[in-house]
Amino acid sequence: MNQVDYLRISLIDRCNFRCQYCMPEGVELEYALKQQLLTDAELLTLIQEVFIPVGFTQFRLTGGEPLLRPGVVELVKAIASLPATKDLSMTTNGFLLAPIAHSLYDAGLRRINISLDSLDPDIFDQIIGNRGRSRWQQVWDGIQAAYNVGFDPLKLNVVVIPGVNDHEVLDLAALTIDKQWHVRFIEFMPIGNSQLFGDRGWISSADLRQQIREQWGLTESQVRGSGPADVFQIPGAKGTLGFISQMSECFCDRCNRMRLSADGWLRPCLLNETGQLDLKTALRTGIKTSQLQEQVRHLLAIKPEINFKGRDSGTTGTYTRTMSQIGG
pLDDT-based confidence at 195, cuts 50/70/90? Answer: low
Mean per-residue pLDDT of the chain: 89
Q: Which domains, from first to last, does the chain contain?
A: 6-326 (3.20.20.70)
Which range, of 100-114, 179-193, 233-247, 301-315, averages the lowest pLDDT?
301-315
Letter for the amino acid at 228? P
In the chain, alpha helices (H): 40-46, 72-80, 101-107, 121-128, 136-149, 169-173, 175-178, 194-200, 205-216, 279-284, 289-313, 323-326
In DSSP notation, 13-24 reads S--S---TTTS-
pLDDT-based confidence at 23, cuts 50/70/90? Answer: confident
In whole angstroms, give the CA distance from residue 244 to residue 172: 15
pLDDT-based confidence at 268, cuts 50/70/90? Answer: very high
- Please tell me the pTM assigned to this model: 0.92
Nearest CA among 25, 109, 16 for reference residue 61: 109
Q: Give the neighbor-by-neighbor strand order of the sheet with 257-260.
A: 219-220, 230-233, 240-244, 181-187, 154-160, 111-115, 87-92, 58-62, 6-10, 257-260, 265-267, 277-278
pLDDT in tens, 269-304: 887 777 899 999 999 999 999 999 999 999 999 998
Render the burial of 151-167: b for 16+ CB within 10 Å, e for the rest.
bebbbbbbbbbeebbbe
In whole angstroms, give the CA distance from residue 305 to residue 296: 15
3-state secondary structure 50-100: HHCCCCCCEEEEECCCHHHCCCHHHHHHHHHCCCCCCEEEEEECCCCCHHH
Q: Is the pLDDT of residue 314 over 50?
A: no
Give the up-direction half-sphere exposure of residue 172: CA atoms within 13 A in the CB hemisphere: 29
